[in-house]
Amino acid sequence: MAVGGTARVRRTQEARSARSRQRLLTAAAVEFATRGFAGGSVDRIARAARVNKAMIYYHFGSKAALYREILRDMFEAVSLRVGEAARGTAAPEDKIRAFVDAFATEAEARPHFPPIWFREIAEGGAHLDPATLGSMSGVLKSLGHILREGHHAGRFQPINPLLVHAGIIGPILLFFASASLRGRLERAGVPGIATVSRDDVVAHVQRVALIALEGRRRK
Amino acid sequence: MAVGGTARVRRTQEARSARSRQRLLTAAAVEFATRGFAGGSVDRIARAARVNKAMIYYHFGSKAALYREILRDMFEAVSLRVGEAARGTAAPEDKIRAFVDAFATEAEARPHFPPIWFREIAEGGAHLDPATLGSMSGVLKSLGHILREGHHAGRFQPINPLLVHAGIIGPILLFFASASLRGRLERAGVPGIATVSRDDVVAHVQRVALIALEGRRRK
DNA sequence: GTCTATAAATAGATAGAC
DNA sequence: GTCTATCTATTTATAGAC
């Protein structure tokens, strides 16, 4: 019973530790998305997570390491999801649709994702470690794989994957990151801006990507 | 001669003041693009401009006011250029091409523009004053004007301007803001990324925007 | 207009008790 | 694992001499 009690206590402490670690990650994601890496404050993160500030250094070592962990989680999840979309035996057109949908789903599920991605791009990827860089290139490679398949099947024109990539993630990131800004523009007198839904954007990007790939000739 | 001398001195001082003011604006644009508003430091801006730090407060009043001035300049210039593209009697298709080209030209001419725009979006437009908000909506309105013209002429399908807007500025901003990141990805083993040129991107975005607007039916 | 010096607040990080 | 207290550096901003 003494042993069982000790084990139970240990389990409880471990669970509490894991929970406070997770609370810090969640609070940090919000803080960094809102204020950026430099603008984010460990004091505010600790306060929002209702965890002592020293725990940030206990769990992660530094503000930069905490930030990198968030980046890693984020890009790993995206890379995984779009990788699933690229594999399998579905038609190339359906894979493009799945790629777009997976990216948008991931961007929507993690509201901090689009703003942090934008900021990281603006900073030239200053905080990206090799693992995260690997996930980023994984996204591009998955798309390149779909494009090659489609080309070999005679259904897609050869287009540089970077252009298709930019045409997909650019609008989607922009849409999700600009939610609050669109609200302000609508109130400032630009009509019909708030009526666009997530599904509208996904459908539009899917359609545009596909007709671009089909490669109908234009003068 | 005494009067002429005084006037000449005054002119020289004014010119020097205007020059140091301009130097501060240039240095601040680089600093804010690289590190963001919160991460940017007035000390570093003053040092880079080789101007005394106190002059920032003399000329602009505060770090925030200096930042807002940069935003105003930037969005005014863009709004003006795309406004020119939207006016006139050219065919709607050519106006779309001109819109895309004007936006890309402006983004390229001011390297700080894409990263600052991205950061400002991520921040929900926290630093946008009414004038700048007006310029932003002006860009959207110019595009909406072209789309309406094209629709009335029976050449464009009706599509929400926000979707077309995101499909144009998303990829272009992404391309210019990610220059250094693309270099790192290329070195990390993603081939064919550095070969894409400004003209490739502009041509691709023009083509994609137009075939989307022509509205060929897809299942 | 330009400078020096400095105020006042806040930042990231750590030592050490429990 | 968690806490308090604190160190040091850096931040924006200003007062006042010239």
Q: What tens digit of pLDDT does each residue of A116-127 get?
A: 999 999 999 999
In this prediction, residue B14 carries a pLDDT of: 78
DSSP symbol at B217: -
Of A155, A171, A163, A145, the residue nearest A215 (C-alpha): A155
Better-predicted residue by pLDDT, B154 or A8: B154
C-alpha to C-alpha distances, A1 to A4, A5, A162, B3, nearest whole angstrom: 5, 6, 62, 101
In this prediction, residue A30 carries a pLDDT of: 98
Percent of chain B as helix, strand, coil, to the nearest 5: 80, 0, 20
Nearest CB neighbour to A170, from listed B174, B195, B200: B174
Q: Is residue A218 pLDDT above 50, yes or no?
A: no
Cβ distance of B38 and A35 shorter than 8 Å? yes
Cβ distance of A190 and B140 shorter than 8 Å? yes
CA distance B38 to B29: 13
Nearest CB neighbour to A39, from listed B39, B180, B208: B39
Per-residue pLDDT, averaged over A129-145, amounts to 97
Tell me which chain B residue has its CA closest to the CA of residue A37.
B39
How many residues make up chain B in this entry? 219
Q: What is the spatial distance, in angstroms and rounded to an integer, between the CA atom of B184 and the C1' atom of D14?
A: 43
- Chain A touched by B43 (CB under 8 Å): no
Q: Is residue A219 pLDDT above 80, yes or no?
A: no
- Chain A touched by B137 (CB under 8 Å): yes
Between residue 13 and residue 52 of chain A, the positions with Cβ below 7 Å from nucleic chain C are 40-44
- Chain B touched by A196 (CB under 8 Å): yes
In this prediction, residue A10 carries a pLDDT of: 66
CA distance A178 to B124: 6
Structure tokens, A35: 């204020």
CB B159, CB B215: distance < 8 Å: yes
In this prediction, residue A17 carries a pLDDT of: 85
CA distance B19 to A215: 51
DSSP symbol at B196: -
CB B174, CB A166: distance < 8 Å: yes
Cβ distance of A130 and B212 shorter than 8 Å? no
Of A177, A159, A156, the residue nearest A167 (C-alpha): A159
Q: What tens digit of pLDDT does each residue of B61-77 get?
A: 999 999 999 999 999 99
Q: What is the spatial distance, in angstroms and rounded to an integer, between the CA atom of A208 and the C1' atom of D12?
A: 47
- State the pTM of this model: 0.95
Q: Is residue A77 pLDDT above 50, yes or no?
A: yes
CB B98, CB B85: distance < 8 Å: yes
